[in-house]
Amino acid sequence: MLDLDRWADDTSAPGGREVRRDLGLRVGVPAAVWWAVVVGLGLLLTGPLAGLRERETAVSEWFVQQRTAALDTLTEVWSVLGTTETIIGICVVVSGVVWWRTRQWWYAVVPAIAVAVQAAVFMLAALVVSAERPEVEQLDPAPPTSSFPSGHSGASIALYVSLALMAQRIGQPWLRVSVTIVLSVLPLLVVYSRLYRGMHYPSDVVVGVLNGLVCVVLGWYWLRRTPRRVEDGGV
């Protein structure tokens, strides 16, 4: 389980040396290892396990059969929730508001770190793994990157799940629960839309989601924090 109180337990400002050390050791190194894992999975799916990927076409074709005018419109909107422009825009605004309210930039940058690391892993992996998109009618223009892994899925998970974790500090229970539910549902809508609109195979989306979740953890734990002791007023 994630330590939801770690940023409230220690509100001390980190020094420059501490920031550089922790970004390198707690984010950079594990991100590089994770990138190698993602690339390995991609090469397996486009190489020895190519038959599995071909069978996934049946799933893409099933989604095509479910298309309606209403779902076409809805999924177009939901897909936008995971675009680069939307993700960066929301991330900048929310991080700025959190920084302003808490005066703790090292806490405010948590979603930015998660999103940035996700993007780096996704883009560098896509450069190595040249995966074609499903052979069905695609409802969106295909980005220049390969189909593996899903960037929309990873980015939406990285941002909205990070924000859901930060939302646990909201005082009013009804508001905290409502915001958490909304933020948890948004990336699911993005994932569904990418499959529905024929932009990715299921395996692309699954690895994209895993990429986002891993980067959420890296962002949440990017800086070492010291839990408060009971004698110091902690619980």
% of residues, the chain, pLDDT over 90: 85
Q: How far, rounded to the nearest angstrom, does the alpha carbon of residue 72 sit from its chain's CA centroid?
A: 24
pLDDT for the residue numbered 233: 47
Whether residue 149 has a cis bond before it, omega within 30° of 0: yes
Alpha-carbon span 156 to 162, nearest angstrom: 10
Is 221's pLDDT higher than 70? Answer: yes
Is 108's pLDDT higher than 60? Answer: yes
Instruction: Compute φ and ψ for 218, nearest 5 degrees.
Output: -65, -40
Is 1's pLDDT higher than 50? Answer: yes
pLDDT for the residue numbered 104: 96
Count of beta carbons in the 10 Å neighbourhood of residue 171: 6
Q: Three-state DSSP class for 104? A: coil
Tell me what the mean pLDDT of segment 113-128 comes to.
96
Q: What is the DSSP letter of 197?
A: T
Tell me the C-alpha to C-alpha distance, in Å, between residue 85 and each of 89, 104, 127. 6, 25, 21
Q: What is the pTM of this model?
A: 0.92
Is 107's pLDDT higher than 50? Answer: yes
Q: Which two tokens stand for residue 202?
A: 């299921």
Tell me what the mean pLDDT of segment 182-196 comes to.
97
Q: Which two tokens stand for residue 68?
A: 């309606």
Question: Given pLDDT bands bounded at 50, 70 and 90, which one contains residue 50?
Answer: confident
